[in-house]
Structure 1
Amino acid sequence: MRIATKIISGYAILIALMAAVLVYQVASIHHMQSINKNLSGLNFSAARTSIQLMRDRDLVEEYTKKSFIVGDPDYVEKLREFKEGFASSLQDMQYLGRSEREQVEINRLVQFWEEFSQALARELAVLTPGTMPSELDQHLERLRAQVQTVHQVSLRTIEAEVGKAADTGAKAEWISWSAAAIALVVSFLVSFFIVRSISEPLHHLTEGTRAVAEGKFYYRLDASRNDEFALLAKDFNTMTARLNELDQMKKDFVSHVSHELKGPLASMQETTHMLLEEIPGSLTEKQKRLLDLNLLSSKRLSSMLENLLDMSRLEAGVMEYELTTQELVVLIQTVVSQLEPQALEKTIRVEPDLPAKPLIVECDGDRIIQVLSNLLGNAIKFSPPGSVIKVRAFSVAALPETMPASWREKVTEDGDSAGFALVAVSDSGPGVPDAHKEKIFEKFHQVKQGKKISGQGVGLGLAICRTIMEAHRGAIWVEDNSNHGSGSVFWLLLRLGSSQEGVTHRTSSPL
């Protein structure tokens, strides 16, 4: 049997069982809601009304006695008010009583009330102060007993409804537990047979994917089974064979381009330098200007070539990192001094804000200089003439709150960590739109903002920076420069402090 058929059949049974339980649960909940509605909307209201009837009856009795003993008209008026209140409560009770027993007792109370009202009207007509008619005492006593009876019946009705709800809940609970137990057994059986049929090939597939991730493209899977895993194994073997070919092609490309392109380009730059130094002969100002432009273009071409070569090395997994203890402030000062002439050409001022206390980090110094040079170089390219670029560095104990979630998941805070070093490069250029803040770190991605800026590359620099920072277990991201209303702030995060020095790591993290 095919694996897909096994999975579908097993879980179809489980889903059907769960659907049946769900239907029963919905019906039970609906029934319990109906009971609760009766309890909350009617029975408890009836109980409250019966209590009010007892209070009204007591007031009627009190003012009946006061009216006949004192004979004050004010007491008679009060008596009429309390009679109206009792009659109103009695009318509400007639509406709220739902059970047959409640209706019987309420009707009897109505009859006693009517008899009392008639007797009271007769006695009031011949009111003689100082004496309480015995007939009225008898009627009031009957009313007291009957109101108590109505109240007790209301309470018993509530108890009956509560018991019914409890029985329904207990039954639903028992069925739920039974269905859950059956579902658990069925799930275990289904899962057991499915896992049994796929665990071994899945284990081999896991080993194969791990081998490919480690660059072992020669790994092959067994394709002799007669199921979906056999088809998957054949496709996997085809993929690894193709990856092996591509991997070899990348390595050949890196080796070939390194020797074939860098050599002639270096010769061109050296020749231009010699001409500018006027070794072959003197030059006119126009000739010097043209040679300067030629040298600048060759440097741009060299930078683009280095980026392409770095990308190829990173993708091929042949980039080496020599992690040693470095003073981050010194690295920043080196980059600033190297790029300051380029900034002065655009009348841009670079303002470093660096701590007096050393920031010791473990990194590959050349690669971090490459990242810093890229960030500061971009800031110079995109900043308008006469603006200011600020380079700040400081240490923090924990990850900054503004750090994107995608980086926060990758950079974990170790218990033994001494904290982090942060570098911020702030400019006042056009800025980076929110939709591109993550994409600019992808290969060949560039933000289109009007005409192309002079010196703009092919979109590899930030992608390489991201991969370098990933290899250092650090982070790089961009935010808006809120202090100037425009521009960007590129942040660089590195870990502080470590005891190992001079350890070389290799990475094959793809861009």
Structure 2
Amino acid sequence: MKKDFNTLLIQKLKTKKVEGITRRWLILIIGLIVLLFIIVFILGTAAIKTYYYNSVEKIVLSSVSDSTVNYFENCINNGESLESAAALFIDSYSNKDSTTAWIIDNDGNVVISSNGFAVDKQDMPDYVQAQKSDDDSGKFVGRVYGHQKVMAVTRIIRNSDGIEVGAVRIMAGISHVDEQIATLCLIIALVFIFVLAIIILSNLYFIRTIINPLKEVNQATKLIAQGNLDVRIEKHYNDEIGDLADSINTMATEIATADKMKNDFISTISHELRTPLTSIKGWGETLTIGNQDTMDEITYKGLQVIVKEAGRLEGFVEELLDFSRLQSGRMTLRLAKTDILAELEETLFTFIERAVREGYEVKYSIPEVPSVANADANRLKQVFMNILDNALKYSRPGSKIFVKAQFIKKDGGDFVKISIADQGCGISADDLPHVKEKFYKANVSVKGSGIGLAVTTEIVNLHNGTLDIDSVEGKGTLVTICLPLLEPPAYNDKTEG
């Protein structure tokens, strides 16, 4: 059963939200890779755009070179008109498929176009730039007619006197170039995404083969630390982590062996001590009965001390036996139909006499109705006496101990809730979470083995009940026990005390 629980727990651990080293690893690696991809993508896109635009610009510049300008200037200087020189230029223009040539007069009107269409006067930023520049040239990249994107270069034509007589404008459409650039960028982005997916998958595989086994190791060590020595780590790989798993499994086996030897020793020594202690206590009681007048006072008091200490040691041995049963899983219950509150009242009857004798006052409120449960009467008395005994040990003489029982509904069932409160020293906030642990003592000045509350808690758990402790240091402690009932009780409380 424990192995099944451990398997489920480790499987649940594998499905937990990514955190810890896994989270940091993914953020670091994936973050750096994504950042690198973004930088490379931006630089690559810019390089591709520059390359394509430079290629277009070379074609445009080759069509409006110095020889082209010289041709027009020579024609003008030889007395030809701009229109006739333009007609001859357009007839012999060789780049009509890739570019469009405009010849512009001095007033900014398009004299002739290589595509044969008339062109209305329009804004030409490159022409304006050429008129103002020192090298008589201008460049423009943008949209014309509101939708078509072009690259245009204009060169000014001057006569021999340096007077502007016109201009040559060469244009190349670059919308298709932008489409090609966008297609390439999309391909690059898809490649990057594909590479990123491969990297993420490889990292997840790494996490699965390294981080998850480490988580299993971590969880297993926690279970071992909590006393579950049956847990074992599954060895996934023959590497350092696999060696670590083997080492921890070996350690757990050795601890379990040592723990079994310890429990066997405690059980054996407890049984061996039981018989002589019973004899010592029995003969001590026998010698004291009816012999007070026949022996001296010191001898009589000595026998009383022997009986008292033998009884205390006998109780300690019984606790050790219960602890041994608890550790080995041999603690069992003799279940029968039992009136829980009747057992509580019987325990109180014995306890109150002792409490009053030692100077304490006990107040109790217990319903006088049957509280039938499937329980072990003797074990329940042990639970009640252990809690009451602790309340007495940790309280100041003259203080009060309160006991209250009531019926409650919980998780759709009927329960009896028993509350035992004292006005003692209380438990500190640091000690409170540990007081139910074996051998833990919050107050080392008080006599006790430190295992009584652990055994008590186990008995309550075996009855499918709960035991909760609330305490305020310096003010007192409240212990609440909830035990399930077989049948609903009659809810009519009567207070006594």
Q: Give a deviation string over 1:367-403, Cα, whole Å, max 9, x none.
A: 22212111111222233334332211112224xxxxx
Structure 2 residue 429 is the aligned partner of structure 1 residue 434: yes
Structure 2 residue 386 is the aligned partner of structure 1 residue 377: no
Structure 2 residue 484 is the aligned partner of structure 1 residue 495: yes
- Matches of residues 248-263 of structure 1 in structure 2 within 5 Å? 248-263=260-275
> In 2, distance between residues paired with 1:16 and 1:419?
60
Match of 1:311 in 2: 323
Q: Secondary structure at the match of 1:320?
A: coil
Structure 2 residue 456 is the aligned partner of structure 1 residue 461: no
> In 2, distance between residues paired with 1:429 and 1:208?
38
Counterparts in 2 of 1:313 and 1:193: CA distance versus 1, 3 Å: same
Structure 2 residue 277 is the aligned partner of structure 1 residue 265: yes
Match of 2:246 in 1: 234
> In 2, distance between residues paired with 1:394 and 1:292?
40
Given that residues 420 and 480 in structure 2 are in contact (C-alpha distance below 8 angstroms), is that contact kept between their aligned partners in structure 1?
Answer: yes
Of 298, 301, 305, the residue aligned with 2:313 is 301
Q: Secondary structure at the match of 1:321?
A: coil
Counterparts in 2 of 1:285 and 1:342: CA distance versus 1, 3 Å: farther
Match of 2:352 in 1: 340
Structure 2 residue 430 is the aligned partner of structure 1 residue 424: no
Counterparts in 2 of 1:226 and 1:442: CA distance versus 1, 3 Å: closer
Match of 2:55 in 1: none
Q: What residue identity is the alignment partner of 2:441?
A: Q
Given that residues 414 and 484 in structure 2 are in contact (C-alpha distance below 8 angstroms), is that contact kept between their aligned partners in structure 1?
Answer: yes
> In 2, distance between residues paired with 1:431 and 1:207?
35
- Matches of residues 37-76 of structure 1 in structure 2 within 5 Å? none
**Superposition deviation, residue 261 in structure 1:** 0.9
Match of 2:439 in 1: 444
Match of 1:146 in 2: none
- Matches of residues 91-106 of structure 1 in structure 2 within 5 Å? none
> In 2, distance between residues paired with 1:209 and 1:446?
22
Structure 2 residue 30 is the aligned partner of structure 1 residue 14: yes
> In 1, distance between residues paired with 2:480 and 2:362?
16
> In 2, distance between residues paired with 1:334 and 1:440?
27
Q: Secondary structure at the match of 2:384?
A: helix
Q: Secondary structure at the match of 1:422?
A: strand
Q: Secondary structure at the match of 1:245?
A: helix
> In 1, distance between residues paired with 2:368 and 2:297?
45
Given that residues 443 and 460 in structure 1 are in contact (C-alpha distance below 8 angstroms), is that contact kept between their aligned partners in structure 2?
Answer: yes
Q: Secondary structure at the match of 2:430?
A: helix
> In 1, distance between residues paired with 2:280 and 2:241?
56
Of 316, 340, 357, the residue aligned with 1:328 is 340
- Matches of residues 80-99 of structure 1 in structure 2 within 5 Å? none
> In 1, distance between residues paired with 2:377 and 2:307?
27
TM-score (norm 2): 0.52
Match of 2:376 in 1: 364
Given that residues 229 and 255 in structure 2 are in contact (C-alpha distance below 8 angstroms), is that contact kept between their aligned partners in structure 1?
Answer: no
Q: Secondary structure at the match of 1:421?
A: strand
Of 479, 482, 494, the residue aligned with 2:470 is 479
Larger RCO, structure (CA 8 Å, separation 6 or more): 1
**Superposition deviation, residue 366 in structure 1:** 2.6
> In 1, distance between residues paired with 2:363 and 2:442?
26
Q: Secondary structure at the match of 1:261?
A: helix
Structure ranking higher in helix proportion:
1
Q: Percent of aligned pairs with the same residue?
A: 25
> In 1, distance between residues paired with 2:220 and 2:476?
48
**Superposition deviation, residue 201 in structure 1:** 12
Match of 1:502 in 2: none
Counterparts in 2 of 1:182 and 1:435: CA distance versus 1, 3 Å: same
> In 2, distance between residues paired with 1:377 and 1:314?
21
**Superposition deviation, residue 269 in structure 1:** 0.6
**Superposition deviation, residue 490 in structure 1:** 1.7
Counterparts in 2 of 1:309 and 1:279: CA distance versus 1, 3 Å: same
**Superposition deviation, residue 189 in structure 1:** 5.1
Given that residues 221 and 237 in structure 1 are in contact (C-alpha distance below 8 angstroms), is that contact kept between their aligned partners in structure 2?
Answer: no
Match of 1:145 in 2: none
Match of 2:133 in 1: none
Match of 1:407 in 2: none
Q: Secondary structure at the match of 1:368?
A: helix
Q: What residue identity is the alignment partner of 1:304?
A: F
Counterparts in 2 of 1:376 and 1:181: CA distance versus 1, 3 Å: farther
Stretches of structure 2 lacking an aligned partner (at least 5 in a row): 1-20, 40-188, 489-497
Q: What residue identity is the alignment partner of 2:376?
A: D
Given that residues 427 and 487 in structure 1 are in contact (C-alpha distance below 8 angstroms), is that contact kept between their aligned partners in structure 2?
Answer: yes
Q: What residue identity is the alignment partner of 1:442?
A: E
Match of 1:397 in 2: 409
> In 2, distance between residues paired with 1:284 and 1:365?
43
Given that residues 359 and 394 in structure 1 are in contact (C-alpha distance below 8 angstroms), is that contact kept between their aligned partners in structure 2?
Answer: no
Q: Secondary structure at the match of 1:433?
A: coil
Given that residues 310 and 464 in structure 1 are in contact (C-alpha distance below 8 angstroms), is that contact kept between their aligned partners in structure 2?
Answer: yes
Q: In the comparison of the two structures, how many residue pairs are matched? A: 319
- Matches of residues 171-186 of structure 1 in structure 2 within 5 Å? 186=199
Counterparts in 2 of 1:270 and 1:21: CA distance versus 1, 3 Å: farther
| Higher Rg of the two aligned structures | 2
Q: Secondary structure at the match of 2:450?
A: coil
Given that residues 467 and 481 in structure 2 are in contact (C-alpha distance below 8 angstroms), is that contact kept between their aligned partners in structure 1?
Answer: yes
> In 1, distance between residues paired with 2:389 and 2:219?
43
Stretches of structure 1 lacking an aligned partner (at least 5 in a row): 24-175, 399-412, 500-511
Q: What residue identity is the alignment partner of 2:396?
A: P
> In 1, distance between residues paired with 2:328 and 2:426?
33
**Superposition deviation, residue 359 in structure 1:** 2.6
Counterparts in 2 of 1:220 and 1:375: CA distance versus 1, 3 Å: closer
**Superposition deviation, residue 319 in structure 1:** 2.0
Q: Secondary structure at the match of 1:447?
A: coil
